[in-house]
Amino acid sequence: MSNIVIGVGGGIAAYKACSIIRHFTESGHHVRVIPTESALEFVGRATFEALSGNPVQTGVFADVPQVPHVRLGQEADLVLVAPATADLMARAAAGRADDLLTATLLTARCPVVFAPAMHTEMWEHPATVANVQTLRDHGATVLTPASGRLTGADTGAGRLPDPQEIALLGELMLERPDALPRDLEGVRVLVSAGGTREPLDPVRFLGNRSSGKQGYALARAAAQRGARVTLVAGTTADLADPAGVDVIRITTADQLAAEIATRATETDVLIMAAAVADFKPLSVADSKIKKNGDRPAPIELDTNPDILRAAVTARAAGDITAETVIVGFAAETGDEHGGVLDHGREKLARKGCDLLVVNAVGDGKAFGMDDNTGWILADGGQETALPLGSKTLMATRILDSVSGILKR
Ligand code: PMT
């Protein structure tokens, strides 16, 4: 159990802090909510007290014998501010301590994460840009906001990232405080995620159990490390678009192949986390295939393009720049011919990518899970074990390896 302080700034997105508070209390953490006075204009004190199970104060003169303006920050394992308004970040960057939240931010020595939410003009204003930089220079993590609908009819950058995403990133910072350096600033990253569906007729398809969680975790972590990320997503569980990521939807392996072929020429890193069907029905029926007696009709299959292999070949031919880092995945079960790692090594040799992430699947592993484990194999022969942890944590370890070989 960790001590989590959730700071809430005075913006319309303050109501979304309730889901984040709930996430951390339900995960068994001890949560203290510290809103600003203006945050209480949007969400009442009673809501925060009921959700956290703890008293809520905004000023430094309540409960003085307990010295909360110092103690809450000192005892915290994570301070997460959501939403972080332009005004709150300006006060924090200036080192002000004029309410309980800013005083807590000054005394905290644990990971501090700001999840900004404001209008695009405010987010892009040079004053806010400078404040964000100051907070990062002081060691805080300032998340990249999402783009989308803002308070009124306007849209743009500055929307609070999805609460589930903020919670996942908060958990990540608890697991690994140095997980989100800004080392991929401006790097173009193309990620595929989820499963493909190969239609058989208007109502049936061949598919797989990929939820997209691993690919989304990679896209999310890369964007929060400063990368310009495009995510090509097949069929996934109900996942929110990661903040700051362009999301393209596809259904079939052929559609994924077309998207990757076009976009791989303009990327610095390609990560193929999608579970691509190797085969598709040779023909797709125009109408629903009818039951014909008791014997099912055999399904003839055709081979899908090997998208990863095609990218490696295109790079060798000069169609993709030689510096592009190509990362493949291997979903392996192990069999009588060898274990998971043996098959991974063989796949790296066959696919010819720079890095291959090997994960064991089957028996409830990897597919659809929140956790993952495996190895990163490099074409130079280095092998790095990835201990069991959240898919977000695994994503950051993979990005560390990518960052290490990226030529800039
Ligand atoms: O989505 P989750 O539920 O979070 O689960 C994550 C995952 C298990 C799907 C993911 O971690 C993973 O292992 N993805 C790759 C799954 C897969 O298709 O593995 P493979 O061994 O069949 O393929 C090897 C590599 O070639 C992969 O990078 C794959 O994207 C690529 N491939 C495969 C077939 C094909 N026709 N074209 C390809 O490019």
pLDDT for the residue numbered 359? 94
The terminus-to-terminus CA distance of the chain in angstroms comes to 41
What is the extent of the structural domain holding 38?
Answer: 3-175
Asked if the structure places residue 361 within a domain, the reply is yes
The verdict on the CB of residue 218 being under 6 Å from ligand 1 is: no
Asked if the structure places residue 183 within a domain, the reply is no
Instruction: Give the β-pairing of 205-206 and 245-249.
Output: unpaired
Average pLDDT, rounded, for the chain: 95
The verdict on the CB of residue 97 being under 6 Å from ligand 1 is: no
Residue owning the nearest CA to atom 37 of ligand 1: 306
Q: What CATH code is carried by the domain that includes residue 69?
A: 3.40.50.1950
Residues 41 and 101 both lie in one domain: yes
Residues 18 and 159 both lie in one domain: yes
pLDDT for the residue numbered 68? 75
Whether the per-residue pLDDT at 292 is higher than 80: the answer is no
Residues 118 and 83 both lie in one domain: yes
pTM: 0.96
Asked if the structure places residue 242 within a domain, the reply is yes
* Digit-coded pLDDT (tens) for 296-354: 788 999 999 999 999 999 999 999 999 999 999 999 998 999 999 999 999 999 999 99
pLDDT for the residue numbered 291? 81
Distances (CA, A) of 299 to 137, 209, 284: 59, 20, 10
Residues 205 and 165 both lie in one domain: no
Cα distance between residue 135 and residue 163, in whole Å: 21
Asked if the structure places residue 281 within a domain, the reply is yes
Whether the per-residue pLDDT at 69 is higher than 80: the answer is no
As a 3-state breakdown, the chain gives helix, strand, coil percent values, each rounded to 5, of: 35, 25, 40
Tell me the CA–centroid distance for residue 187 and ligand 1, in Å.
23
The verdict on the CB of residue 275 being under 6 Å from ligand 1 is: yes
| C-beta of residue 312 within 8 angstroms of C-beta of residue 270 | no
Residues 130 and 24 both lie in one domain: yes
Whether the per-residue pLDDT at 257 is higher than 90: the answer is yes
Residues 219 and 164 both lie in one domain: no
Residues 77 and 205 both lie in one domain: no
Asked if the structure places residue 20 within a domain, the reply is yes
pLDDT for the residue numbered 149? 75
Residues 250 and 170 both lie in one domain: no
- Max alpha carbon distance in the chain (Å)? 82
Residues 171 and 100 both lie in one domain: yes
List of residues 6+ apart from 67 with CB closer than 8 A: none
Residues 10 and 104 both lie in one domain: yes
pLDDT for the residue numbered 263? 98
The average pLDDT across 23-44 equals 98
Whether the per-residue pLDDT at 101 is higher than 90: the answer is yes
Least confident piece of the model among 115-129, 144-158, 370-384, 389-403: 144-158
Residue of 54, 131, 208, 292 with catalytic role: 208
Domain count, the chain: 2
pLDDT for the residue numbered 276? 98
| Amino acid occupying residue 307 | I
Confidence of residue 63 (pLDDT cuts 50, 70, 90): confident
Asked if the structure places residue 241 within a domain, the reply is yes
Residues 215 and 271 both lie in one domain: yes
Residues 54 and 171 both lie in one domain: yes
Pocket test for ligand 1, best of 308, 340, 353 (most atoms within 8 A of CB): 308
Give the residues across from 301 on adjacent strands. Answer: 281
Confidence of residue 294 (pLDDT cuts 50, 70, 90): confident
Give the residues across from 228 on adjacent strands. Answer: 188
The verdict on the CB of residue 306 being under 6 Å from ligand 1 is: yes
pLDDT for the residue numbered 297? 82
Domain termination residue (choose one: 145, 175, 205): 175
The average pLDDT across 155-165 equals 93
Domain termination residue (choose one: 151, 175, 199): 175
User: Which of ligand 1's atoms lies nearest the C-alpha of 356?
Assistant: 28
Asked if the structure places residue 379 within a domain, the reply is yes
Query: Reduced to 3 states, what is the DSSP secondary structure of residue 150?
Result: coil
Nearest CA among 4, 363, 40 for reference residue 171: 4
Q: What CATH code is carried by the domain that includes residue 262?
A: 3.40.50.10300
Q: Dihedrals φ, ψ of 287, to 5°?
A: -125, 165
Whether the per-residue pLDDT at 153 is higher than 80: the answer is no
Asked if the structure places residue 181 within a domain, the reply is no
Distances (CA, A) of 382 to 12, 270, 385: 49, 20, 10
Domain termination residue (choose one: 142, 175, 208): 175
The verdict on the CB of residue 361 being under 6 Å from ligand 1 is: yes
